[in-house]
Amino acid sequence: MFLDDDFKDISKFCMRMEKNIVEGDGVDAVIWAGKIAELLTHYISSFVNLDLRNYEQNKKLLILLNEELISEEIYDQLDSIRQYRNIATHHDLNNEIQTALESKERLIKITKETRDAALNAKNQSEARLNMSKEELLEYISTFRSDNIFAI
């Protein structure tokens, strides 16, 4: 499975979230969903060597959106989970199981939308690391064209 192989921590948190949903503890499930969303944000920023450790989640999401590292749709999904988590942590959460299920569905949607792109980028990076000197020079030469500003 994708998460088990590449993101064991997220997989473990997903299992905890699911366990809380099954046991009827929507508040804890929403809090776990928030932790998962924060891990996703961490992985996205780390993947592009962007150090956001000193920022709160809402600022991290805005930076990722402004840097065009996530789409507006993914931003909205992650921010909704963040808001639900804050409510669950600091206030009474209405319809807690429904909110937990919505958070779970948002995470599934985000994962499906980003999984293939992330793995493709990872594979491309690994492929470049394994290039011969000639292949690497050819790859670098593509950035020297007259259309470099079109990138």
Question: Residue 148 — very low, low, confident or very high, per pLDDT cuts 50/70/90?
Answer: very low
Token digits for 107?
A: 């995470």
Token digits for 81?
A: 């989970």
Please choose, from the candidates 71, 65, 7, 15, the residue with its C-alpha nearest in 3D space to the C-alpha of residue 39: 7
Token digits for 96?
A: 């807690």
Output the pTM of the full model: 0.72
pLDDT tens profile 22-51: 999 999 999 999 999 999 898 888 888 889
pLDDT at 116: 58
pLDDT at 115: 65
pLDDT tens profile 102-137: 999 999 888 877 765 566 556 666 665 666 667 666
Distance of CA 126 to the CA centre of its chain: 20
The rounded distance, in Å, linking the Cα atoms of 33 and 14 is 7
Taking residues 7-30, report their average pLDDT: 90
The rounded distance, in Å, linking the Cα atoms of 46 and 60 is 12
Question: Residue 151 — very low, low, confident or very high, per pLDDT cuts 50/70/90?
Answer: very low
Please choose, from the candidates 10, 7, 16, 33, the residue with its C-alpha nearest in 3D space to the C-alpha of residue 104: 33
Contact present, 64 and 44 (Cβ < 8 Å):
yes
pLDDT at 146: 44
DSSP designation for 95: T
The rounded distance, in Å, linking the Cα atoms of 7 and 43 is 9
pLDDT tens profile 48-106: 888 999 999 999 999 988 888 888 989 999 999 999 999 999 998 889 999 999 999 99
pLDDT at 22: 93
